[in-house]
Amino acid sequence: MHAAFGQFYCALTILLSVVGLTIDTGGVLLGQEMQKDKPEGNTVLTPFIVKSSWLKFGVFDGRILAQDIRRTQSRSLTLYHDSQEAEEHLVVRVLPGKYHIKYALQAPEELLQLEYDIAGVFFVRREIAGVNVQLRQSATGPIRIQVEKGDSITEYVSTRLWLGLMLMPELERKYAVELLDRLCPGTHVSLLYKEALSALKRLSLSPLELQVSQIRTLVALLDDESFAVRQQADRQLRSIGRPLIGVLENVDYSGLSVEQRTRLQLIVEKYKVVERDSVASIIASMRWNPQLWQVLAADKHDGVLAINSERRLQQLIGERRGSEPIEALNAGKPLLLQLR
């Protein structure tokens, strides 16, 4: 990483003075008061990007984004923490319509790395106690969570962070949550995950209110010769509301016409969340998601949950796949709904 150079933005200088850091004539940030403020016991160093309030992450539609970005300029800096034998490096690059940040914290007990740009590309990594955890998110692709322990590397892929966490065994999920809490504490991932999962488990006890046959009928009408009929079917689909997203994001689009695909994708765009995820929005987005119930139906520790989730999965699948053994559905690739 590069050492800091040049003059720093005045707002950044004020922030640094608050945390007890000063700027030397070479532009390198030095922790001159570290001896006085030496932490007791095993106090963990708070990352600089968490201390500084000009960058805050949140989870929007199950994707990690930073929308609280204060105005700044392109800059680089290095922080030295002699008493803790740690270094932090930060590089910010700002161009018209673009923003990219690269950060690293290296200490004897851990390595933290983060990269982010406003297009939605997100990479965060933590290496601690022999465990390497990585979370990658491209601008439009799925979220990938990778856990490396010794010679074992496991990767979990999902459209949303919440579903990815459900795919993971409890121990590996703990690593992923700790990673996010370390660099993005404002996301409240652990609390949202636990509360949403509890609510979805309760939801599994009730009958599925979605009529998949009705959705299939409306999707078929999106390809009707009459423009008026297509418009009416479009309006009826939109009136179903946000829970429809769980279906539309997991549809096999290969058998649909261009107009059907276009209209359904526009409906998905309409219901994109602009506020940070809440328990209510997580449930609304996932309650009709077949991949959610596919995961919960494979739960080997909660037999009641597995049975109820299997029932909901079969209701979503409908008659076309209803005769297929649930074991085959759970063992295969993520399930896509057939709407034709």
In the chain, where the domains are located: 10-187, 202-331
In the numeric block, which tokens belong to residue 63?
């994707």
Give kind and range of the element (H or E) at residue 89.
Answer: strand 86-95
CB count, 10 Å around CB of 228?
Answer: 8
pLDDT value, residue 332: 53
CB count, 10 Å around CB of 56?
Answer: 18
Q: Can you point out the beta strands (E) in 129-232?
A: 131-137, 143-149, 152-158
* Mean pLDDT, residues 8-36 taken together: 35
DSSP 103-135: EEEEETTEEEEEEEETTS-EEEEEEETTEEEEE
pLDDT at 117 over 80: yes
In the numeric block, which tokens belong to residue 307?
């049975």
Distance CA 184, CA 178 (A): 10
265-270 long-range contacts, CB within 8 A, separation 24+: 267/234, 267/237, 267/238, 270/238
pTM: 0.77
Confidence of residue 133 (pLDDT cuts 50, 70, 90): very high
pLDDT value, residue 189: 92
Minimum mean pLDDT range among 36-50, 189-203, 217-231: 36-50
Confidence of residue 175 (pLDDT cuts 50, 70, 90): very high
pLDDT value, residue 299: 84
Judging by DSSP bridges, how do beta strands 75-81 and 86-95 pair with one another?
antiparallel
pLDDT value, residue 180: 92
pLDDT value, residue 153: 94
Minimum mean pLDDT range among 38-47, 92-101, 152-161: 38-47
3-state secondary structure of 137: strand
Q: What percent of the chain shows pLDDT beyond 70?
A: 81
Measured CA distances, 225 to 15, 215, 221, 230, 259 (Å): 62, 18, 9, 8, 11
Q: b/e per residue, 86-104, with b = 16+ CB within 10 A?
A: bebbbbbeeeeeebbbbbb
Minimum mean pLDDT range among 24-33, 59-68, 135-144, 294-303: 24-33
Distance CA 320, CA 340 (A): 10
Distance CA 231, CA 250 (A): 23
Residue found by looking up tokens 């720093």 in the block: 8
Judging by DSSP bridges, how do beta strands 29-30 and 55-60 pair with one another?
unpaired
Length of the chain: 340
pLDDT at 2 over 90: no
- Enumerate residues 6+ apart whose C-beta is below 8 A from 189: 59, 161, 165, 177, 180, 181
